[in-house]
Amino acid sequence: MRIFTKLSPPLCLLFVFLCLKTAFSSSIHASSFSTTHLCSHEEALALLQFKTSFSINYTISDPYYCGDHFYTKPNYSKIESWKEGIDCCSWDGVSCDNVTGHVIALNLSCSFLYGTFPSNSTLFFLRNLQSLNLASNDFRFSKIPPEISQFTRLKHLDISYSQFSGQVPAEIAHLPKLVSLNLSNEPSDLILETTTLKNLVHNLSEVRELELGGVNMTSVNPRFFMNLSSSLTTLNLLESALRGNFPNSIFRFPNLKNFYLSGSIGERNLIIDLPSSNWSSPLQQLFLSDMDCGSRLPESIGDLKSLQSLGLECNLKGSIPASIGNLSQLTDLDLYSSNLSGQIPPSLANLTQLISIDLSFNQFSGPIPFHARLNF
Ligand SMILES: *[C@@H]1O[C@H](CO)[C@@H](O)[C@H](O)[C@H]1NC(C)=O
Ligand SMILES: *[C@@H]1O[C@H](CO)[C@@H](O)[C@H](O)[C@H]1NC(C)=O
Ligand SMILES: *[C@@H]1O[C@H](CO)[C@@H](O)[C@H](O)[C@H]1NC(C)=O
Ligand SMILES: *[C@@H]1O[C@H](CO)[C@@H](O)[C@H](O)[C@H]1NC(C)=O
Ligand SMILES: *[C@@H]1O[C@H](CO)[C@@H](O)[C@H](O)[C@H]1NC(C)=O
Ligand SMILES: *[C@@H]1O[C@H](CO)[C@@H](O)[C@H](O)[C@H]1NC(C)=O
Ligand SMILES: *[C@@H]1O[C@H](CO)[C@@H](O)[C@H](O)[C@H]1NC(C)=O
Ligand SMILES: *[C@@H]1O[C@H](CO)[C@@H](O)[C@H](O)[C@H]1NC(C)=O
Ligand SMILES: *[C@@H]1O[C@H](CO)[C@@H](O)[C@H](O)[C@H]1NC(C)=O
Ligand SMILES: *[C@@H]1O[C@H](CO)[C@@H](O)[C@H](O)[C@H]1NC(C)=O
Ligand SMILES: *[C@@H]1O[C@H](CO)[C@@H](O)[C@H](O)[C@H]1NC(C)=O
Ligand SMILES: *[C@@H]1O[C@H](CO)[C@@H](O)[C@H](O)[C@H]1NC(C)=O
């Protein structure tokens, strides 16, 4: 049995005895390894070469946004802990299979990496990667390298907000094990073609989270989304530049929790018809904007018992149905500029969890049924 102790360098210095002991035990038992490191020499080298392809540029605002939180600006990037002579499995952001020693996960999100992403990157040497997170770096409008398809074991890929641009390569559809894919970006930098999307939908039969916010899909036929995996839990298509009819069968997806969709800002050439019955999805977050939502806000909206956040800025007609009072989990209600009229239903007063409500730019009449902070 081999003993692998993942001590960070400072700890290792403190406990010299323990480090030596670990090294000693491994060198005895790990006969197939020439080093005492869990990480192979080749993979360590590949990572070190990857590191040298970028500079580390801390020129960002303070505090800065990373993932879903603001952080105060650090003076340290994870990649700075990557040093020769130290087991790469103990480097910040690197995770190894504890038996084979292969690097299986890399998380370099918000690591201030700055520079173009080379298509011959030594990163592609890490064939055992199951998870790759390069979100929130600055790859200077590089193309997403088609070589990405060499990561055949990849389950999680997050390269969002990393300043990739150009066409999403067709090879993105050759990663059939993907469970989550996040390509969200600043609007208009990345373009996804209809054939690539079609193949993606067809091949990613395990996908649960698909985030394509800001990806320009102007040429995509929205009907292809109806064939997404029934395992889908999150679909982010904000600022998608999609046009045409979006299949409302999306509301029957049995596992869908988060659905965000918007077309081109200020335009209404994307249409989705809210279903009048048979919503089957356990939706928690629903946001639709810059599009047309068919006609009325259906009475059946009250069936979505798990709904926490409802945002419909999408040209509805008629009034708010009384059933809205059944959405007992609702914390956020946004019906901004939705062309609604009539009385605000008294049942709204039953939504005790509401934190934020925006009913502005509609034509409501009659009394306001509750005392919440209002934005009319
Ligand atoms: C760091 O990034 C800023 C803006 O993102 C850029 O203007 C500057 O030239 C970069 N510095 C270096 C040394 O690359
Ligand atoms: C990318 O999407 C995944 C899956 O939904 C999510 O967990 C992750 O936080 C997203 N990344 C960023 C930077 O928002
Ligand atoms: C980073 O800043 C902390 C204090 O915020 C300081 O203790 C530490 O020495 C700094 N590290 C480097 C590498 O500058
Ligand atoms: C290896 O990792 C797996 C999952 O991360 C864990 O369940 C297992 O206990 C670990 N084995 C050893 C020997 O550390
Ligand atoms: C990846 O790194 C970021 C930034 O350090 C951290 O917030 C996030 O929790 C990490 N993700 C995982 C899955 O470890
Ligand atoms: C990648 O290609 C560039 C030139 O296109 C070359 O300078 C560099 O050495 C190559 N890197 C590797 C790791 O092969
Ligand atoms: C699906 O993925 C496989 C590789 O896993 C690839 O050979 C095939 O071309 C892909 N199909 C499509 C339609 O992209
Ligand atoms: C999307 O890409 C098309 C060209 O493919 C371009 O004409 C259009 O302006 C882009 N839309 C946005 C919002 O950037
Ligand atoms: C969805 O999949 C079915 C069955 O594979 C196929 O017949 C249909 O054409 C597909 N629809 C779209 C819009 O891709
Ligand atoms: C709703 O579901 C019921 C029972 O499954 C079915 O009979 C009905 O046709 C469905 N309605 C619509 C509009 O799909
Ligand atoms: C939902 O709301 C409507 C109108 O307020 C009410 O008649 C109905 O009983 C409610 N249904 C449930 C299941 O709470
Ligand atoms: C609020 O909920 C209570 C209990 O479910 C119900 O009796 C009452 O009719 C509701 N009020 C409105 C205005 O819907």
| Domain 53-242 falls under CATH 3.80.10.10 | yes
Tell whether ligand 2 has an atom less than 6 A from the beta carbon of residue 234: yes
pTM to 2 decimals?
0.87
Q: What is the mean pLDDT of the chain?
A: 87
Backbone torsions φ then ψ of 190, nearest 5 degrees: -110, 140
For residues 19 and 275, the model is more confident at 275
- Considering every ligand atom shown, identify the ligand nearest to the alpha carbon of residue 158 and give its number: 2
Give, using CA atoms, the residue closest to atom 6 of ligand 6.
Answer: 120
Q: How far apart are CA 292 and CA 127, in angstroms?
A: 44
Residues having CB within 6 Å of any atom of ligand 8: 187-188, 191, 216, 218, 241, 264
Residue 344 φ/ψ region, left for φ over 0, alpha for ψ in the -120 to 50 degree band, beta for the rest: beta
CA 54 / ligand 6 centre spacing (Å): 13
User: Atom of ligand 8 at shortest distance to CA of 188?
Assistant: 14
Residue 294's pLDDT is 83
Closest C-alpha residue for ligand 1 atom 12: 57
For ligand 9, residues with CB inside 6 Å are 223-224, 226-227
pLDDT tens-digit series, residues 178-190: 999 999 998 778 9
What confidence tens digit (pLDDT) does each residue in 95-104 have?
999 999 999 9
Cα 328 to averaged position of ligand 12 atoms, centre (Å): 11
Side chain identity at residue 295, one-letter code: S
CA-based diameter of the chain, in Å? 82
Q: Which of 14-23, 38-47, 315-324 is least confident?
A: 14-23
Domains of the chain, by residue range, sit at 53-242, 244-250+263-376
| Ligand 10 atom at minimal distance to the Cα of residue 275 | 13
The per-residue pLDDT for range 274-326, each reduced to its tens digit, is: 999 989 889 999 999 999 998 889 999 999 999 999 999 998 989 999 999 99
Report the nearest-CA residue for atom 5 of ligand 9: 227
Element (H, E) at 312: strand 309-313
pLDDT of residue 243: 95
Asked whether 95 and 105 are in contact (CB, 8 A), the reply is: yes
Instruction: Work out the pLDDT band at 371, boundaries 50, 70, 90.
Output: low
Smallest-distance ligand from the CA of 326: 11
Q: What is the pLDDT of residue 313?
A: 94
**What CA–CA distance (Å, rounded) separates 104 from 102?**
6
**Nearest Cα residue to 110 out of 63, 142, 147, 146:** 63
The superfamily in CATH containing domain 244-250+263-376 is Ribonuclease Inhibitor (3.80.10.10)
More confident residue, 235 or 67: 235
Helix (H) or strand (E) holding 71: strand 69-71
What tens digit of pLDDT does each residue of 114-172 get?
999 999 999 999 999 999 999 999 999 999 999 999 999 999 999 999 999 999 999 99
